[in-house]
Amino acid sequence: MVFVYSGEFAERVIRNLINDPSFCKSCGLYCDSCKYGVYSYVRNIRAAIELPKPMDLPTFIDKPEEYMPKNIPKADLCVASGLHKDLLLELPLHVERVGVKGLIVPIEDFNEVPSGLRKQVEERCVELGLEYAFPKPFCSLESAEDKPLISRFVTEFGVGRPKLEISTARVGGREVVEAAFVRRSAPCGSTWYVARKLIGIETKRETLYDAIAKAHHSYPCTATMNVDPEAKEPILHIGGYIIREEVEKALKESREKR
């Protein structure tokens, strides 16, 4: 896998994937190192190539190929994030030439990848025979039968739409979360933090939702709070709904096993 990016979001994903021990400090003094030593995909990342930020480039770039990375190692997948629009449009052709077979473009902010640009990039991927995905947000990415490379990324790296395993206990007549295990994390790593903050929380819906929302915002989620014109609400909210749905699903599965 290779990353071609501008900005902090991709760096957050990379640091989560390599499990950088200095990355997640959300729990502060109460950190119990829940994720450190559990995994590391540092050997799976062939390169992380940072390009100039869009604000440092011309509004329109006549020759985007001049800004493309000079050397990209051969890899199955490329994750592109935060790129200037003209550079993103050029990227499929550039990576296909070096043997990349799939492209993932997370959409955390619709201003970075508006619908028209997404359609243009999709068309280029189809022409070049590249698998592609534009998850909005990145934590909505799931496996698909027609996208084996991207499905393998979700499975082998354990990132995409979160998946948890939760056990509960009765305390003083109340059902509370006894333990929460991350089986698949949001690419930014926020699922680990949410899972940690669920322990001891009553499973009563209102209490549970408040705890999830607080943890999701505190990590914090990197998606925009601006209203997305397609979803009709902020992408950050979509990320919040996703983790809430997955916590509910895990609780339901836990209860069915009793």
Q: In one letter, which amino acid is 203? A: T
Residue 24: band (very low, low, confident or very high) from pLDDT cuts 50, 70, 90: confident
Q: How far apart are CA 68 and CA 64, in angstroms?
A: 7
238 Cβ contact list (under 8 Å, min separation 6): 136, 137, 140, 223, 228, 231
* Residue range(s) occupied by CATH 3.30.390 in the chain: 163-256
- Angle (nearest 5°) at CA 71 between 137 and 148: 45
> What is the tens place of the pLDDT at every residue in 219-231?
878 888 989 999 8
- CATH number of 163-256: 2.30.30, 1.10.3470, 1.10.3710, 3.30.390? 3.30.390
Q: How far apart are CA 212 and CA 119, in angstroms?
A: 34
Average pLDDT, integer, range 21-50: 87
- CATH number of 2-157: 2.30.29, 3.40.50, 1.20.120, 3.30.590? 3.40.50
* Residue range(s) occupied by CATH 3.40.50 in the chain: 2-157
Classify residue 191 by its DSSP letter: H
> What is the tens place of the pLDDT at every residue in 136-172?
999 999 999 999 999 999 999 999 999 999 999 999 8
Average pLDDT, integer, range 47-65: 94
pTM of the entire predicted model:
0.94
